[in-house]
Amino acid sequence: MELIDLKVFLSIAEEGSISRAAERLEYVQSNVTARIRKLESELGVALFYRHSKGVTLSEKGIVLRKYALTIMNLSEEAVKEVRETSYPSGPLAIGVVETVTCGNFMNILSDFQLQYPDVSLSLITGTSSELLAKVLNYQLDGAFITGDIKSPQLICEYTMQEQVKLLTQKTDEVYPDLSNTKWAVFPEGCPFRAILEEWLGSKGIPLVNMIEISSLETLLSCVRSGLAATLLPQSVLTGAYKSLGAFTLPAAFGCTQTNLVRRNAPFSSKALTAFVEMVKIAGLD
């Protein structure tokens, strides 16, 4: 079994098609077909079910995929460690929940790029659950995620406690009638949406009167216009949104935390280590 065989296998599994995998890998389709047949022959099992629309993983294929991902990720990590320079350099992919960008985060990025110009930094936004999956799948070096994260697969490098507020259009409003409030929420997987659902549930109110929005800017604009209310950390009350009404939640729902996490792995690049140290020193708030 060779690494290239596993690379071909994973490409087919992701594309669901031998022809699309060949196109993605820029290989001749017959070469891809030959490699996967060779791998199946070596293992003595069928890794895919063939059908008119392409292929899907067999039960044994699902098992192999888990190990193949680990092997390929470790091989890539080995290359990174061998090529590691004596100073922070190379690519650094960081995941960010949008609420993090409202505090000191952008200043940290600016200082980091000035101090380490040889680091090629990329930022990927998403929900906490999406970013967590990408960290574990080696798609991100680290990520800022919201909520209490406990996993032996992760190391938490930095934690910031945040106050969660009920945000409405104006500061002079009275506490809204929760049973008649329209809510602006992020998609499923957002911890603030989960807090809102739990809080309303404790009062016997289902979270049904809502608008689902994927952009923080759009969501806050929706609140500022008076179209809806929301739950978000107090740190978003900056710039044009300082004038929003902010109401305290019951203690059981009024606090959360943002964590900078990375994989619990032997290798951590100098670029990531330098970034973590800068976040620890500067802080997000």
Asked if residue 262 and residue 133 are part of one domain, the reply reads yes
Whole-structure pTM value: 0.77
CB 128 within 8 A of CB 136: no
Same domain for 15 and 153, yes or no, is no
Q: Same domain for 239 and 169? A: yes
For 58-114, write each residue's pLDDT tens digit: 999 999 999 999 898 888 888 888 888 889 999 999 999 988 988 789 999 999 999
Predicted pLDDT of residue 268: 86
Looking at the predicted structure, is the pLDDT value of residue 171 above 80?
no
Contacts of 235 (CB under 8 A, 6+ apart): 99, 102, 103, 162, 284, 285
Q: Would you say 256 and 146 are in contact if contact means Cβ atoms under 8 Å apart?
A: yes
174-233 per-position pLDDT tens digit = 888 999 999 999 988 888 999 999 999 999 999 999 999 999 999 999 999 999 999 999
Q: How confident is the model at residue 151 (pLDDT cuts 50, 70, 90)?
A: confident
The CATH number for 124's domain is 3.40.190.10
Q: How many Å apart are CA 128 and CA 215, to the nearest integer?
A: 14
Q: Render pLDDT for 14-55 as a digit per residue (tens, 0 to 9).
A: 999 999 999 999 999 999 999 999 999 999 999 999 998 899
Identify the pLDDT of residue 74.
86
Note down the domain range covering 69: 3-83
Same domain as 192, residue 173: yes
Same structural domain, 137 and 175: no
What is the distance in angstroms between the CA of the first residue and the CA of the last residue of the chain?
50
Domains of the chain: total? 3
* Paired residues of 162 in beta bridges: 256
Residues 221 and 242 in one domain: yes
The conformation of residue 179, written as its DSSP 8-state character, comes to G
Query: Do residue 217 and residue 106 come from a single domain?
Result: no
In this structure, is the dihedral angle defined by the CA atoms of residues 218, 222, 228 and 231, taken in order, positive or negative? positive
- Can you tell me the distance from the alpha carbon of 225 to that of 106, in angstroms, rounded to the nearest whole number? 26
> Is there a single domain that holds both residue 169 and residue 246?
yes
Do 9 and 46 reside in the same domain of the chain?
A: yes
